[in-house]
Amino acid sequence: MLFSISDQTSVQASSQVSAANLTDQFSNNLSATQRWLEDAYNWFISSLPNFIAALLILLVGWWITRIICKIIRKAMEKSKADPTVCAFLLSLINVALKIIVIICAISTVGFDVTTLITTIGAAAVTVGLALKDSLANVASGTLIILNQRFKIGDYIEAEGLKGKVVKIDMMYTILCTYDNKEILIPNSRLTTNNVTNYFVMDERRIDLIVPIAYSEDISKARDVIMTLIRNDERVIQEKYNRVAVQTLNESSVDLSVWIWVKSDDYWKVMEDMQESIKNSLDANHIQIPFNQLDVHIIEAEKKALIEHQ
């Protein structure tokens, strides 16, 4: 009985001690929380002018950035700069000015800008290694825009793909084919491979191959084609337009035809001239040969073969 009473007394004492410890711990945590809240409040009150100044810097900086970009845009439009270059430069200037404004606002609040820039630089290196292909496209897009290897509206060919340039992004160049298909080509492929620009020059030469039969008069065929060239007002007569023998094929004499025209008239003149040449040669009874197989049967050999059988 004595043991039971002493055990109960010990349990009650230990429970009181545990409760007292919990109360003290709660009080300490509450005091620490209160001190933290008081410190945060005091810091906020003391830093409130800096936050207001930073907000004003952001608002005024954004407004000044917009004004500067408008002034630069108007200046570029008056100087008749290329629209692609204008858009690219304005984008870079806008981003650069906004970054400067943000850094100024952060430094006003009291943050260490040097540490922030170092952190951003390290993160940029890491992201750059992970996105090296994308960054290569961005760098290539910058080179394309600044060097103006081609511009919007040009008709180009790259890696067997042909189309009119409708947009030059930082990552891709977008082409539109004549049958209204859209082609996206990464910019890095346009700076590392050969690109043919068909309309960068004001004048282009149409190259045609016109075959005639061996039995036809070459001089007559030449005169017929040259008459068509001289009578077409779209042909640049001051240039060297000519008709000459290019190849003696197995079944035809191939005439090479050069016709100089304005780049804008290239496709239409080429289509019209091919049709006109065909009709004119037919009208002058000049044969255009086609692949054919002639079978010759020798009667004597045929009879000998029959008798042998």
Residue 6, in any domain of the structure: no
- Same structural domain, 191 and 207: no
The pTM for the full model equals 0.54
For residue 182, give the amino acid letter: E
- Same structural domain, 64 and 84: yes
- Residue 295, classed as helix, strand or coil, is coil
- Same structural domain, 26 and 119: yes
pLDDT band at 286 (very low <50, low <70, confident <90, very high): very high
Q: What is the CATH number of the domain that holds 191?
A: 2.30.30.60
- Crossing angle between the packed helical segments 266-283 and 218-231, to the nearest 10 degrees: 140
Q: Choose the final residue of a domain: 130, 161, 187.
A: 130
| H or E element that contains 30 | helix 2-78
- Same structural domain, 161 and 251: no
pLDDT at 40 over 90: no
Instruction: Order across the sheet with 203-212: list the strands.
Output: 203-212, 253-262, 242-248
Report CA torsion sign: 264, 268, 274, 279. Answer: negative
Number of domains in the chain: 3
- Percent of the chain exceeding pLDDT 70 equals 72
- Same structural domain, 29 and 126: yes
Q: Which residue range(s) make up the domain with 186? A: 148-197
- Same structural domain, 76 and 116: yes
Residue 301, in any domain of the structure: no
Judge contact between 221 and 254, C-beta under 8 A: no
The model's pLDDT over 148-199, given as tens digits with 9 standing for 90+, comes to 778 888 888 888 888 999 888 778 888 998 888 999 888 888 888 888 888 7
The predicted structure's pLDDT at residue 23: 65
- Same structural domain, 59 and 156: no
Q: Choose the final residue of a domain: 71, 97, 130.
A: 130
Residue 136, in any domain of the structure: no
Residue 297, in any domain of the structure: no
pLDDT at 76 over 50: yes
pLDDT band at 132 (very low <50, low <70, confident <90, very high): low
The predicted structure's pLDDT at residue 131: 52
Highest mean pLDDT: which range of 40-49, 149-158, 232-241: 232-241
- Same structural domain, 98 and 38: yes
Residue 169, in any domain of the structure: yes
Q: What is the CATH number of the domain that holds 35?
A: 1.10.287.1260
Residue 100, in any domain of the structure: yes
Rounded distance between C-alpha atoms, residue 229 and residue 223, angstroms: 10
Residue 140, in any domain of the structure: no
The predicted structure's pLDDT at residue 231: 93
pLDDT at 11 over 50: no
Mean pLDDT value across residues 133-149: 74
Q: Choose the final residue of a domain: 130, 161, 181.
A: 130
Q: Name which residue leads in pLDDT, 196 or 259.
A: 259
- Same structural domain, 265 and 236: yes
